[in-house]
Structure formats: structure tokens, C-alpha cells
Structure 1
Amino acid sequence: MLTRLFGRPQVPEISPAEAQERQQRGALVIDVREPDEWRTGHIPGARLIPLGELPRRLAELDRHQEIVLVCRSGNRSAQATLWLQRAGFSRVANLAGGMIAWVRAGLPVER
């Protein structure tokens, strides 16, 4: 109903601190940027699945595990969150502000 009224489903978003906390509790962090972006710095323990590859790699993911999606600014990961929701994943969230927000929050980055 809301989708029909407002055009698209709500993308659950979380802060960098919440993303880190969820990761520490067992959530999988998926970085949907391209490999060259990944090499410039990523969240420790994150897994790289570029956005363009995500639809064909869904079988690699556990539908019951919590998943946090991240990109540079939060736009591509919001799209990835929607894709996962539409594919039946219910425990997904977008890192609001992406890696830009993560770095600004002073959280660790692996290179």
C-alpha cells in the first residue's frame, strides 16, 4: 500500500556506530562498491560484492543472517538493500552516508 502511495519501499538505514555494533554481533557487512574503490579503504571484515554482481550472487548469502550494505555515500547500497528485500531478505539495512560517514565517525578502515 505505501509503495503504491509513495513510489518505493522504505530502505532501513542505520548509523555508522550502529553498523559497527551490528557487525560485532554477527551481521555481515557487504560493500557494493567496485574493486578499485574497495582498495582505497573498506570496513574491516566486510565482504566485497560489487552492485552489478549482487543479483547473480544472492545464493552466496544467508537469508537469515543480518546484512548491512555499504558503498561510498549510501546511494548504491540503498539500491542493494531494496534488491535484497525484494529477493526475500528481511534482515537488511543500509549504512546511511556510506564510507564517507564511516570515516567521518572515526571508525576503522582497512586498506
Structure 2
Amino acid sequence: MAKLKDKRREKISVATEIDRLEERRARCHDNLERAEFRKRKEELSEMDRQELEDEMAIMNERVQKLDKELEMLRGENRRNMLLSVALLAVSALFYYIFFNIEDDS
């Protein structure tokens, strides 16, 4: 199952994966804000308050995990961009050298 999930992810671009994770993070963050608001505004029993705090802790862990994954993907995206720019520069250099030598001949 994990291999299938990894293969599906390989077909998705890094930018698309970043967008997808940012959306998930935003949803988790919204849920966390709603839970915090509920905790402040509602009269909750001690058991309900503890359940809400446990739920908030889980959501905080998810947000932190998504932040780490986003940081990793953004780093990968930067490396991909630098590689693309380097390849473009090398291609431009070869193009310039080829036509410059041809003009001199």
C-alpha cells in the first residue's frame, strides 16, 4: 500500500504537492481555531474540556508535521529550480559558443 501511495506521489509535481499540503494545513489550522474559540466561549464540563484539549494537541501535531513536510518539499522545489536555471545557463552557453565559433569561421 505504501509503495502504491509513493508511486502516485511520484506522478504529482512538487508544486502541486505543496499546494495540496498547504490546503490541508489551512484546514487543520481553521479547525484548531474553531476548537480554541469553542474552548474560550462555551461552558464545558471537565471531561469535554479535556477531550477538546486532546483534540487540539492532535491538530497541533498535524500542523507541525505538515509544516515539516512543506519545508522539505519547498527545499526540493528550490533545488529543482536551481537545476533548471543551471541547465538553461549551460544550454545558453553552448548555444552562444556554437554560433560564435560558426560566425568566426
- TM-score bracket, normalised by the shorter chain, equals under 0.3
TM-score (norm 2): 0.22
Determine which structure has the larger strand proportion and give its number.
1
What is the TM-score with the length of structure 1 in the denominator? 0.21
Whichever of the two has the greater Rg, that structure is 2
